[in-house]
Chain A
Amino acid sequence: MPRPARRPGLALGAIALALLGSGAAAADPVGACLITKTDTNPFFVKMREGAAAKARELGIDLDSYAGKVDGDNETQVAAIETCIANGVKGILLTASNTSAIVPAVRQARDAGILVIALDTPLDPIEAADMTFATDNFKAGELIGQWARARLGAEADTARIALLDLDISQPTVGVLRDQGFLQGFGIDIADPKKWGDESDPRIVGHDVTQGNQEGGRRAMENLLATDPSLSLVYTINEPAAAGAFEALKAVGRDGAVTIVSVDGGCPGVENVKAGVIGATSQQYPLLMASKGIEAIAAFARDGTRPEATEGKSFFDTGVTLVTDAPVEGVESISAEEALGLCWG
């Protein structure tokens, strides 16, 4: 019997056949797992592509899993258990709930599996063997500094709206938000959460779930609070696009500066089109391919990846993208960023 494809993707009738015969190959290759928050966000799609390409190159057998929705811890736990049952060597994980996933991660590490957190550090960060991530605080800081320089004298009277991820305040959202505020020069009080700042320039925080629909709704809410806003921070570019729609609807799209984080291709296009003033670009593909390399090394001789100097994680880098560069903040143009973007 011929060995069917590992990922069935053909006719409906082929399901059963596709199930048959994906049994263990002759010489067991090194197995690895990639577990992302969802399989619909292009960021994770890109991450998966990066991991798959590298895995093919290194001859690693990669299985990918994803939660049903953002925040879905249960499915991720089940995925980790599956990986343990499958006897993989390493797991790359983008955790939906950074603290709730920890016991499952410990189980995997107890089974001798190298667990690398991608993009989002676990809580506590040392629950994973290593974290490959964007420095999200720095990503926020870059757009904060840019915005401050861009607004110039107006910065002192700015009216700022912050469009965050979720009321559960996932770490990534908190880091970007607080980084932005710090970069802009606002006292952030407790850096572990947003919403506790007392600066009068802040109009308010609202949540977007990181999508366009949520971005538009959150923007509308905050516009209702204060129609005179001048600066909008967004957790990511889909949220920024939604915010822009809301601003356009009330005719304030030209008067408000939007900043964001991510550097996905549609986002970079929006920088080019002037919808977004500046965005911090991160590199998911790099995270994933580095992660696969780390697993390969670990399988070969047990070496574990090391953190970037001065940080508690392996920094995969972040770059400011804008077509209106300001002095004192390094940046690349949207044109350049299009060559590096994902999604």
Chain B
Amino acid sequence: MSSQAEPTEDFEGIAARAPNRHAAFQPHRKGAMGRAHDLLHATPALVPMIVLIAAVAVFGLVLGGKFFSPFALTLILQQVQIVGVLAAAQSLIVLTAGIDLSVGATAVFCSVIMGKLVFDVGLPAPLAVLAGLIAGTAIGGLNGWLVSRVRLPPFIVTLGMWQIVLAATYLSSGNETIRAQDIEATAPFLQFLGGKLQLGGATLTFGVILMLLLVLVLAYALRSTAWGRHVYAVGDDPEAAALAGVDVHRTLMSVYLLVGLICALAGWVMIGRFGSVSPSATTGVIGNIQSITAVVIGGISLFGGRGSILGAFFGALIVGVFELGLRMAGANPQWTFLLIGALIIGAVAVDQWIRKVSA
């Protein structure tokens, strides 16, 4: 096997003669492929960013000024604001090696609570919003407690919670939509996040700004605070994290509580975007899959501990760009699903490649 002609008996001696640096660190991989690998390893959000820029460029070339207008480009932001916020929540859970199927349902439920408290109970709108945010946080906390203390798998916990919350939404609302006109007349504060900043042709809603701020704050917290490092460590290997001195339970609880709160915020964003409160909103049913799609395309590993929330944001934007671009091009919407499907598989393949570390 080996061409080395050293006698094997004296292995200790050979080892002793080896350069006397203990466990020295040496660069090992070389070449363009290796360098790309290292770069992606360090900055996993790079792939979705490149895909995003390429997608914008291609659609811009094809559709011309119609697509490359401030109106259309900011429209994408408006169209992804709900999924973007949910994807931020989903990222946190996925980083802890979990998955949350209840994000969309929680968002819809919280929006219904906000609406119901104003219209059925007569609470002032800001209090109703606060109550909705608290309800979302509570749902997240319950998920977190079941995952962290009772030690049930996150998939099962949130699968159940998804159904429970959806049913609670329908039961509590009789599935009646609260009309935009009524909200506008009685409680415009509920639609606050639908407010607009007009900059030339560009339109930024407060919901979009909230999404951008949320992503930036979370990116900072995950990168530059001890809490963020703990989230990664817990997702990477919870036992190792515990042995290294991380309070795994507290970290998980903080993540799930925060995710519940973010989902409730998404509910508020929904009222802003659609004007109305609609218990049958599709987000309740497919919001989880949409957010997981964004997270996966964004290069966050479903095995936890790897990836960045910026990637998930880019992932949501990629889906938004594809959807708007293909729609504007008049393509059958099924092409969007087909391309998104291909992107998902591609993203996971890249993730596996990044994780493969040559020794």
- In the complex, A66→B323 CA distance in Å? 12
- B-side interface residues, number (CB < 8 Å): 48
Q: Is A20 an interface residue (CB 8 A)?
A: yes
Q: Is B326 an interface residue (CB 8 A)?
A: yes
Shortest beta-carbon distance from A258 to chain B in Å = 27
- In the complex, A78→B321 CA distance in Å? 12
- In the complex, A71→B286 CA distance in Å? 12
Q: Please tell me the size bucket of the interface on A.
A: 35 or more
Shortest beta-carbon distance from A164 to chain B in Å = 13
- In the complex, A12→B338 CA distance in Å? 10
Q: Is B64 an interface residue (CB 8 A)?
A: yes
* A87 and B66 contact, CB distance less than 8 A: yes
- Enumerate chain B residues within 8 angstroms of A15, measured Cβ to Cβ: 335, 338-339
* A85 and B280 contact, CB distance less than 8 A: no
Question: B166-204 CB contact bits vs A (8 Å, 1 = yes)?
Answer: 000010000111011100000000000000000000000
Q: Is B275 an interface residue (CB 8 A)?
A: yes
* B282 and A73 contact, CB distance less than 8 A: yes
Q: Is A168 an interface residue (CB 8 A)?
A: yes
- In the complex, A45→B107 CA distance in Å? 33
Known: A22-B330, A81-B78. 7 other contacts (CB 8 A): A7-B332, A22-B62, A74-B274, A74-B283, A85-B66, A103-B274, A169-B175
* B180 and A19 contact, CB distance less than 8 A: no
- Enumerate chain B residues within 8 angstroms of A85, measured Cβ to Cβ: 66-67, 69, 71-72, 75, 324, 328
* B79 and A78 contact, CB distance less than 8 A: yes
Contact partner, B175, options A21, A69, A167, Cβ 8 Å:
A167
- In the complex, A223→B42 CA distance in Å? 63
Contact A100:B75 (CB < 8 A) given known A19-B331, A65-B327, A167-B170 = no
- A residues apposed to B, CB below 8 Å: 6-9, 12, 15-16, 18-24, 39, 63, 65-69, 71-75, 77-79, 81-82, 85-87, 97, 99-100, 102-104, 123-124, 167-169
Contact A19:B324 (CB < 8 A) given known A74-B283, A81-B75, A87-B66 = no
Number of A-B contacts (CB under 8 A): 123
Q: Interface on chain B toward A: helix, strand, loop, or mixed SS?
A: helix
| Closest B residue by C-beta to A170 | B280
Q: Is B160 an interface residue (CB 8 A)?
A: no
Shortest beta-carbon distance from B25 to chain A in Å = 44
| Closest A residue by C-beta to B276 | A100
- Enumerate chain A residues within 8 angstroms of B338, measured Cβ to Cβ: 12, 15
Which residues B311-339 have CB closer than 8 A to chain A? 323-333, 335, 338-339
- In the complex, A102→B331 CA distance in Å? 25
Taking each of B59, B61, B328, B329, which has the highest tally of chain A beta carbons within 10 Å of its own beta carbon?
B329
Which residues B53-100 have CB closer than 8 A to chain A? 58-59, 61-64, 66-67, 69, 71-72, 75, 78-79, 82
* A103 and B329 contact, CB distance less than 8 A: no
